[in-house]
Amino acid sequence: MNSIELKELSKQFGSRTAVDKLTLSVEQGTVFGLLGQNGAGKTTTIKMLCGLLSPCGGDALIEGISVTSKPQEVKKLVAVSPQETAVAKNLTVFENLEFVAEIYGANKSTAKEKAQEMLLRFGLADRAKDKAKSLSGGMARKLSIAMALISKPKVLFLDEPTLGLDVRARRELWNVIGELNGKMTVVLTTHYLEEAQALCNKIAIMSCGLLRALGTAEEIIKQSNTDNFEDAFLFFTEKEEEK
């Protein structure tokens, strides 16, 4: 069963087409990679799928619900950990988690329970009383993902989750994302090609708003007639730029 279905999804900003009739599907419970160079249309696509931007054409279904006709219903099913870590820096780690749980409708008691659960799950219990601004980049990203997961979404969007992190912090987040595989649908954008290969069941490559390739990393390599995934990525992104 598909968790996400895009049907000629399109978005224009003035005369510029950011997403051009994008059609693809994402199977339920998989980690799906959305790759492309800066300006390819990845973040715009995610914003439309989350109900944060209205499409100019086409439609998308999240768990069978239309983002164009029922965006508020879609928002109840999804969560986002954005590229800019979405934490309140002057709140403690625990307070950040508790606050988000309450936003999603939990009462005070339940919110505390959910926050405690996430602290343990993400190895943040010893930092519970520390203000978020004191966290390292890796710990802040963990908190951001924990905040996104506290509502138990059907679909989780991770926009550049390991950007700027050191090798150890990146590997720790890989483990976190890997544990979600099979439990919920995850859409991941990243500029780290080895990250996409390691984590994603299926990958889409976008360029200039268009879908250029779709499949497993191995299938995309074969489609490009190259020897490795980096060359395949360059083949599909440069191909569009040359037009």
The two tokens of residue 66 are: 């239309």
Give the sheet arrangement for strand 31-35, strand by strand: 78-81, 155-159, 185-189, 31-35, 202-207, 210-215
Name the nearest CA neighbour of 132 among 83, 86, 176: 86
CB within 8 Å of 109: residues ≥ 6 apart: none
Average pLDDT over residues 137-165: 90
Query: What is the pLDDT at residue 243?
Result: 42
Contact 118, 104 (CB under 8 A): no
Classify the phi-psi angles of 164: left when phi > 0, otherwise alpha if psi is within -120 to 50, otherwise beta: left
The residue whose two tokens read 């090798």 is 167
Query: What is the pLDDT at residue 85?
Result: 65
pLDDT confidence band for 222 (50 / 70 / 90): very high
Which has more pLDDT, 12 or 123? 12
Distance CA 30, CA 4 (A): 11
The three-point CA angle 46-149-213 to 5° equals: 30
Average pLDDT over residues 119-129: 93
pLDDT confidence band for 241 (50 / 70 / 90): very low
pLDDT confidence band for 87 (50 / 70 / 90): confident
The winner for highest mean pLDDT among 27-31, 135-139, 140-144 is 27-31
- β partners of residue 189: 34, 159
pLDDT confidence band for 130 (50 / 70 / 90): very high
Q: Rounded mean pLDDT of the chain?
A: 93
Q: Residue 118: phi, psi to the nearest 5? A: -70, -35
Which has more pLDDT, 143 or 241? 143
% of the chain residues with pLDDT over 70: 97
DSSP character string of 79-123: EEE-SS----TTSBHHHHHHHHHHHTT--HHHHHHHHHHHHHHTT
